[in-house]
Chains A and B, each alone.
Chain A
């Protein structure tokens, strides 16, 4: 019997259905049920009438966006310098940048928080942003660096040849060509920060609650349906922008691998 090689994807297909598709469907199912399993929209409406939850949600988005922008502002120049042969000829520096990714994130976060404590900085939104930038900067630098490294230097030469000053070369060629790296970096920073819970607790001494914390608290105190509803809301907001934008997700993959 001849087995077609395309059928080798079948086990993974079943796996994906079971462990990716079905669980996502279950989030929706649980979100639209009450604790006894009847259909209801209460969980959703409860969120929209809960001023605390709404403001936490808004704050989470704000913090995630701010953190992503900080990482981008700090990380892009770093990636650019590292990818530029004129300024950096050794591969060691980029390794130094990604090395902290291997150290347990919670441990790093705790150390950062303790460092703030020792320096006498009060924990709050400022330390949250600063600490998260620490944690996620490598995730921004690495994909951008990867893409910048891959850009054929003849593009920049061609632009220069056509009369572009170094600044124009950057704005009109390098920056647009590195867009996939930026998208990938933004996703790798934004996704975890918008949904984080432990990190925000550590960095603010639990003073600031983010959306992830509320989800976790509800799930842990067996309020699965409301927890699922909150997850669904997050999923919808984020999912719309990324999941179905095939272009950005394939661009993101390009940056990671």
Chain B
């Protein structure tokens, strides 16, 4: 009983520490003060500003948000397609070739962000590719795809190896076999690969920083970085972060409730 209490207390203490900064932002999103931590009375002005796009440089903040989401969606989609096809290919490779592919695939995952960023920066410089949207997306696909491959691979090994042949035997072309049989069976792996890619792309700062070029392309991360370096954060970031946190929280709760329900049904 005592042990259980200590264990629970430890978990909740860690969680409290972990969430303190987030709560801090949330609380101070309801005051007007420009400086974080300075309470000047309750107000929803920052929220109004955010929604009516009335603050200073609001255009850049909102476009940074838009860029972040757009890049994340495109990068995650490309990674999912490339990674799924690659996983099927790698799964059918044998011996040394397979080992090589697995090794190559694991490099972007174990590389520190800064190495990925610098190396891709040098690549684009070397190939004289002007940096911007495209290079950022390519860079994100580079570090996302390995995770898609890893998410799809276990699905492939669970799959009956004859399923593809069975589809062809029944008259499907290889492309039809892929779309009508393989993709539905691999879908859970593809979905989790997509989600992983999407969140990693959203969260990335370092790689974007090195590959965005000088055309003034900003994602949320780079926006915050530049903003903070200038001294003083745009106060409207506070309500934005609070809202993002709430949306994620709600999504996770919904997913979990649904999972719990389907599990109960099974029982």
Residues of A near any B CB (own CB < 8 A): 3-13, 15-24, 26-27, 30, 74, 77-78, 81-82, 84, 86-88, 91-93, 95-97, 99-108, 110-112, 114-115, 117-118, 134, 137-138, 187, 191-192, 194-198, 201-202, 212, 215-216, 219, 224, 227-228, 231, 234-235, 238, 242-243, 246, 249-250, 252-253, 256-257
Specify which of A86, A111, A117, A187 is in contact with B110 (CB 8 Å cutoff): A187
CB–CB A20/B108 < 8 A: yes
* 16 pairs, A vs B, C-beta closer than 8 Å: A6-B92, A6-B94, A78-B11, A81-B11, A93-B15, A95-B252, A96-B15, A102-B199, A104-B224, A106-B225, A114-B21, A192-B113, A195-B112, A198-B205, A212-B206, A243-B110
Beyond known contacts A91-B256, A195-B115: 4 more, CB 8 A cutoff: A100-B22, A106-B221, A107-B237, A138-B18
Residues of B with C-beta under 8 A to A201: 229
Residues of B near any A CB (own CB < 8 A): 3-4, 7-8, 10-11, 14-15, 17-22, 24-25, 36-37, 82-83, 85-86, 88-90, 92-94, 97, 101-116, 118-123, 125-126, 138-139, 141-142, 145, 147, 149-151, 154, 164, 174, 192, 199, 202-203, 205-206, 209-210, 220-221, 224-225, 228-229, 233, 237, 241, 244-245, 248-249, 252, 256
Q: Give the CA-CA distance A191 to B138 in the complex, in Å.
A: 22
Q: Give the CA-CA distance A88 to B5 in the complex, in Å.
A: 11
Residues of A with C-beta under 8 A to B141: 15, 19
Residues of B with C-beta under 8 A to A106: 205, 221, 224-225, 228
Question: Whose C-beta in chain B lies nearest to the C-beta of A213?
Answer: B114
Residues of B with C-beta under 8 A to A252: 109-110
Residues of B with C-beta under 8 A to A77: 10
Residues of A with C-beta under 8 A to B102: 250
Residues of A with C-beta under 8 A to B37: 114-115, 117-118
Residues of B with C-beta under 8 A to A194: 112
Are A216 and B7 also in contact (CB < 8 A) when A103-B241, A107-B241, A110-B233 are?
A: no
Q: Give the CA-CA distance A256 to B138 in the complex, in Å.
A: 23
The listed residue with most B CB atoms (<10 A of its CB), out of A9, A78, A108, is A9
CB–CB B106/A24 < 8 A: no
Q: Give the CA-CA distance A5 to B22 in the complex, in Å.
A: 48
CB–CB A11/B82 < 8 A: yes
Question: Whose C-beta in chain A lies nearest to the C-beta of B225?
Answer: A198
Specify which of A17, A24, A117, A246 is in contact with B119 (CB 8 Å cutoff): A24
Q: Give the CA-CA distance A91 to B15 in the complex, in Å.
A: 14
CB–CB A23/B122 < 8 A: yes
CB–CB B110/A12 < 8 A: no
CB–CB B114/A234 < 8 A: yes
Pairs A-B, 8 closest by C-beta atoms: A9-B89, A8-B89, A12-B86, A23-B119, A195-B112, A111-B21, A195-B114, A118-B37
Residues of B with C-beta under 8 A to A250: 102, 106
Question: Whose C-beta in chain A lies nearest to the C-beta of B138?
Answer: A19
Residues of A with C-beta under 8 A to B145: 12, 15
CB–CB A102/B86 < 8 A: no
Specify which of A26, A82, A103, A198 is in contact with B245 (CB 8 Å cutoff): A103
CB–CB A13/B104 < 8 A: yes
Are A101 and B203 also in contact (CB < 8 A) when A95-B256, A138-B18 are?
A: yes
CB–CB B154/A12 < 8 A: no
Residues of B with C-beta under 8 A to A26: 119, 122-123, 126
Q: Give the CA-CA distance A246 to B99 in the complex, in Å.
A: 10
CB–CB A111/B109 < 8 A: no
Q: Give the CA-CA distance A132 to B118 in the complex, in Å.
A: 23
Residues of B with C-beta under 8 A to A115: 20-21, 24, 37
The listed residue with most B CB atoms (<10 A of its CB), out of A21, A24, A253, is A253
Are A114 and B24 also in contact (CB < 8 A) when A5-B88, A228-B118 are?
A: yes
Q: Give the CA-CA distance A245 to B120 in the complex, in Å.
A: 24
Question: Whose C-beta in chain A lies nearest to the C-beta of B259?
Answer: A91
Residues of B with C-beta under 8 A to A114: 21, 24, 36-37
Q: Give the CA-CA distance A52 to B248 in the complex, in Å.
A: 43
* Closest beta carbon of chain B to A245's beta carbon, Å: 10
CB–CB B118/A215 < 8 A: yes
Q: Give the CA-CA distance A137 to B16 in the complex, in Å.
A: 13
Residues of A with C-beta under 8 A to B237: 107
The listed residue with most A CB atoms (<10 A of its CB), out of B21, B93, B113, B192, is B21
CB–CB A102/B101 < 8 A: no
CB–CB A191/B89 < 8 A: no
Q: Give the CA-CA distance A238 to B114 in the complex, in Å.
A: 12
The listed residue with most A CB atoms (<10 A of its CB), out of B119, B123, B139, B220, is B119
* Closest beta carbon of chain A to B127's beta carbon, Å: 9
* Closest beta carbon of chain A to B111's beta carbon, Å: 8
The listed residue with most A CB atoms (<10 A of its CB), out of B10, B11, B122, B139, is B122
